[in-house]
A and B are shown apart, each in its own frame.
Chain A
Amino acid sequence: MKLAVEIENLTKDYKIGFWHKHTVRALDNLNLKVEAGQIFGLLGPNGAGKTTTIKLLVGLIKPTAGNARILGRDIKDIETHQKIGYCPENPYFYDYLTAYELMLYFAELFGLTKDAKKRAEKMLNLVGLHESDWHKPLRSFSKGMLQRVGLAQSLINEPEVVFLDEPMSGLDPIGRREIRELIARLPKRGITVFMSTHILSDIEVLCDSVAILNRGKLAAVGKLDELLFTKETNELEVILRGVTVEALSNEMKSLRVLEKPSGLQIRIKEYELVELISVIKKLGGSVVSVQPVKMSLEDFFVKETAKQEAK
């Protein structure tokens, strides 16, 4: 298993106040491992420490304690930056440059001199920025267009890991869908995505694994499927046909039955399954499907953050 990001006891304190006398802990002993080739989501309410984590990883701020490695290299090693991309939240670029000039400038910073033009065109095409906009000054760009440029510049060096801070923030529904589809395609190009967001639906659609941060501390981490089907829910959803609600209720009391076009939908505890199947058999009905009930990400998020705050 190749690791894209390894974080060990990463901590960041900010000094505040005029004389910098007080400190605020923005990130508290964070430990994380992110496998290469996946889309990893950092989830948390505002002020949870998501942006701080990303800024520490890309070298914009220095850790108070702890360390992190990207692709096995220490984050303090400038060579690490050759293989990473970064798009900040609500990116803003030089007013006086065009999108094309900006891409050329950044390509040159990565030492791409001969291929700079080709690479700039490739990335602007990839993010779907219309060719007629390439040579317009960036000051005339809408938020959605700037977000596309932000993504394009983060990919200019064909990085192995890309850090995206709230990549869908401030976009309209169509823009969000387009950016989401673009991010979803990145692992196929061999790029690990490490993104932060507080939009739960984006995480559900995009991410393989998530970490939930709250007040700078890690509240939960793992594969999305595993986190949402926890032992605590322990419920199954059964769809069946050929029996009536009344007949079923007479046989098994306190069942939660819903009539759906596909049949009757019942939620039961795992241990009730054997009894239910024998009742259905007795009534002459048939089982269409049995599926584990997943907790919604929203429920999970609220539960985990509340649990962590109670500690």
Chain B
Amino acid sequence: MKWLIVAKNTFRETIRDRVLYNLILFFLLITASALFLGDLTGGNEARTTVNIGLSATLIFGVLIAIFVGVGLVSKEIEKRTIYVILAKRVTRAEFLLGKYLGLCTVLLLNTGLMGIGVSVVVFTVGDLMRAISIWGAVFLIYMELCIITAVALVFSTFSSPILSTIFSFSVFVIGHFSSALKDIAQSIGSTSAKVFFTSLYYLLPNFSLFSITTQAAHGNLPTVSYLISVTTYAIFYILILISLAIIIFQNRDFR
């Protein structure tokens, strides 16, 4: 259970990071501003608040997942703290798994708190149903963040922090326009380009599956079967990414 000890320390590391609190402060300011913006929408305060609140939850969650996720391994290598850890009775796989799960725990806490923030604001404008219905969307946002963290972890095992950040953001953006890749592949004439875009479509995560903010803004809850199938997809994807990160990390020299 060495990974649990590493996860506990990663949780402590992230919780003591000032970047986290700055991002949460920005989230609170944006969600509170949704109240005033809602006034301008003439009767759609709750819907606007849910839209802005959940989008802010996703954006700030992604910022934490990528910035902290990339730093999980690269900071340890840069500051050479990894030397003393890996010389102890900890396998590289245990170390990576611990780091990943530690950050996922912080994200769970953050997303939960942000979700409560959005619920409270929606409840304040007098829509109890919507205040409850956002939680399916909040759960899927959390699943998406777990995938993004795993993506950041993979890149940080072999690439520099700046490149890892750029790559991870690219995967996040392209993942939200996944269906467009399929459309391009179908409409394009060149066979090699067709193969390229089709491969990208299947390789990159399809984040549009996790995006049910509009549905939540209309007060609709996702079905249980939808939640189960998307969660299974997320777990499967995460397992592949973590395995990939471990394989790369196992063969790395720490010069």
Which A residues have a C-beta under 8 Å from some C-beta of B?
14, 55, 58-62, 78-79, 81-82, 84-88, 91-94, 96-97, 101, 105-106, 108-111, 150, 153-154, 157, 163
Contact = CB atoms under 8 A, between A and B. Distances in A.
A105 B89 contact: no
Interface of B: 2, 5-6, 9, 12-13, 16-17, 79-81, 83-91, 251, 253-255
Which 3 A-B pairs give the minimum distances between C-beta atoms? Answer: A86-B87, A58-B87, A61-B253
B84 A153 contact: yes
B81 A14 contact: no
A109 B254 contact: no
Contact of A79 (B2, B86, B89): B89
A200 B253 CA distance: 30
Given A60-B254, A88-B80, A105-B5, A81 B13 contact: no
Contacts of B255: 14, 55, 61
9 contacts: A60-B254, A81-B88, A82-B89, A88-B80, A91-B80, A96-B13, A96-B16, A96-B17, A108-B5
Contact of A106 (B79, B83, B88, B254): B88
Nearest to A55: B254
Contacts of A111: 89
A288 to B, nearest CB: 52
| Interface class of chain A by DSSP | mixed
Contacts of A108: 5
Given A14-B255, A88-B80, A92-B81, A109 B87 contact: no
Given A14-B255, A62-B253, A88 B88 contact: no
A60 B88 contact: no
A106 to B, nearest CB: 7
Given A14-B253, A88-B83, A101-B12, 5 more contacts: A59-B87, A60-B83, A86-B84, A105-B5, A109-B5
B153 to A, nearest CB: 19
Contact of B90 (A85, A94, A109): A109
A110 B79 contact: no
A93 B85 CA distance: 10
Contact of A93 (B12, B81, B87): B81
B102 to A, nearest CB: 12
Contacts of A93: 81, 84
Residue of A59, A82, A150, A157 with highest tally of chain B CB at under 10 A = A59
A92 B251 contact: no
A108 B9 CA distance: 11
A62 B55 CA distance: 45
Given A61-B255, A96-B12, A109-B89, A87 B17 contact: no
A87 B88 CA distance: 11
B2 A109 contact: yes
A280 B37 CA distance: 110
B88 A110 contact: yes
A59 B87 CA distance: 6
Contacts of A157: 88-89
Contacts of B17: 96
A171 to B, nearest CB: 18
Given A96-B12, A96-B17, A88 B251 contact: no
Nearest to A57: B87
A78 B86 CA distance: 10
A87 B80 CA distance: 11
